[in-house]
Amino acid sequence: MARSPRSGHTLLEVVVTMAIAVLVLAAIYGAIGFQLRLAQSGRNVVEHETLVRSIFNRMSTDVRTAVALNDPGRLRRPPVTAGKSSSSTTASSVSATGATTTTTTAGTDLTASTDTGTTQAGSTTPSEPVQLPLAVIGDATTLSLFITRVPGEPFGSKTDESTRATSDVRRISYWLNEKGLWRLEITPATADDALDLEKQNEDVARLLAAEVQTVEFSYFDGENWTTEWNSTTTGVDGVTPIGSPRAIAIKIGLPKAGGNRDELVYHRHVIPIVTGGGTTQLLVGGG
């Protein structure tokens, strides 16, 4: 018996099959590519946020350790004027000659009136403004901090570090230029260039983040935000420095994650200073 010839695929069937296979492979490739792009976008966002957190953490550590000579009597009540009633009590001690030498008023500063001047209770009022420690000095684009930190130089790996003179007080400065955000640490703070706040030596400084394109500092005095701060500025008494601000806000601009350098994303972080005094104020009213 003769065998019938085996039927084969026509050219049209082969072309259609190949076209379907190409479409399926294209769909799979597109799905894989889309997933890879999503994964890369997620990695870019994570790297961006990690960089921002590391910058703010570094700066927060420095800001919180800023030391200043804050005025313990920053909030004072105005003195009671003669002829006005007051709920506070007054005690006077009279000398042998009958002259009043000491007057103590509840709710006000303890003062002693003598022929030689006015002295506060337990100490003598300085005649010149106190300048140290400097604590926080900065403007909208630069920030200098005088901080206290346990020195780690004696525990270094270099043999000559154990004999170096160290100090727990040091100066740290931040500034921005075309290369990025810089951090300079001068130790100890008594070095010759510690008080040269205009000096920005990149040879001894460290590039904190080259990605940062803009930086802006602002300072909270307890009531308002300002773009400049100097902890050595004296308060209303004309002698005591205002010390550190209540908080420092840092705003940085970085390129968008995965985008071009012209498209910036801004991040703002507020760092409270628990020992900050802010501006000296007078309490008005109250018993």
For the stretch 130-184, pLDDT in tens is 445 678 999 999 999 988 877 766 555 555 544 555 677 788 999 999 999 999 9
Is 58 inside any structural domain? yes
Tell me the average pLDDT across 237-246: 80
Rg (C-alpha) for the chain, rounded Å, is 34
Is 23 inside any structural domain? no
The percent of residues in the chain predicted with pLDDT above 70, rounded, is: 62
Q: Is the separation of the CB atoms in 74 and 277 below 8 Å?
A: yes
Q: Is the separation of the CB atoms in 144 and 171 below 8 Å?
A: yes
Least-confidence region, from 19-23, 30-34, 153-157, 160-164: 160-164
- Judged by DSSP in three states, 235 sits in coil
For residue 173, list its beta bridge partners. 144, 184
What is the C-alpha to C-alpha distance for residues 266 and 254, in angstroms, rounded to an integer? 6
Burial annotation 129-141 (CB, 10 A radius, 16+ → b, else e): eeeebbbbbbbee
What is the C-alpha to C-alpha distance for residues 264 and 56, in angstroms, rounded to an integer? 17
Is 235 inside any structural domain? yes
What are the angstrom distances between the C-alpha of 275 and each of 53, 131, 238? 24, 17, 21
pLDDT for position 271? 94
Is 78 inside any structural domain? no
Exposed, middle or buried, 210 (CB in 10 Å: 0-12/13-18/19+)? exposed
More confident residue, 38 or 123: 38
pLDDT for position 20? 95
Q: Is the separation of the CB atoms in 157 and 163 below 8 Å?
A: no
Tell me the average pLDDT across 9-30: 92
pLDDT for position 194? 67
More confident residue, 25 or 73: 25
Q: Is the separation of the CB atoms in 177 and 209 below 8 Å?
A: no
What band does 204 get if pLDDT is binned at 50, 70 and 90?
A: confident
Tell me the average pLDDT across 197-209: 82
Phi then psi for 53, rounded to 5 degrees? -65, -40
Q: Is the separation of the CB atoms in 70 and 285 below 8 Å?
A: no
| Full residue range of the structural domain in which residue 221 is found | 44-73+132-282
Is 81 inside any structural domain? no
Beta strands 281-282 and 75-76: pairing type? Answer: parallel
Six token digits for residue 264: 């910036």
Residue where the block lists tokens 């007051």: 86
More confident residue, 224 or 80: 224
Is 87 inside any structural domain? no
What is the C-alpha to C-alpha distance for residues 111 and 120, in angstroms, rounded to an integer? 5
Residue where the block lists tokens 């780690």: 152
pLDDT for position 110? 27
**185 sits in which H/E element:** strand 180-186
Six token digits for residue 119: 């002295």
Q: Give the start-end residues of each E strand in 55-164.
A: 75-76, 90-94, 100-105, 111-114, 117-120, 136-138, 143-148
CA 144, 282, 77, 131 torsion-angle sign: positive
Q: Is the separation of the CB atoms in 134 and 194 below 8 Å?
A: no
Is 6 inside any structural domain? no
What is the C-alpha to C-alpha distance for residues 211 and 253, in angstroms, rounded to an integer? 9
Number of compact structural domains in the chain: 1
Is 230 inside any structural domain? yes
pTM over 0.85: no
Q: Give the model confidence (pLDDT) of 79-115 as tens digits.
A: 555 444 433 333 333 333 333 333 333 333 323 333 3
What is the C-alpha to C-alpha distance for residues 195 and 245, in angstroms, rounded to an integer? 20
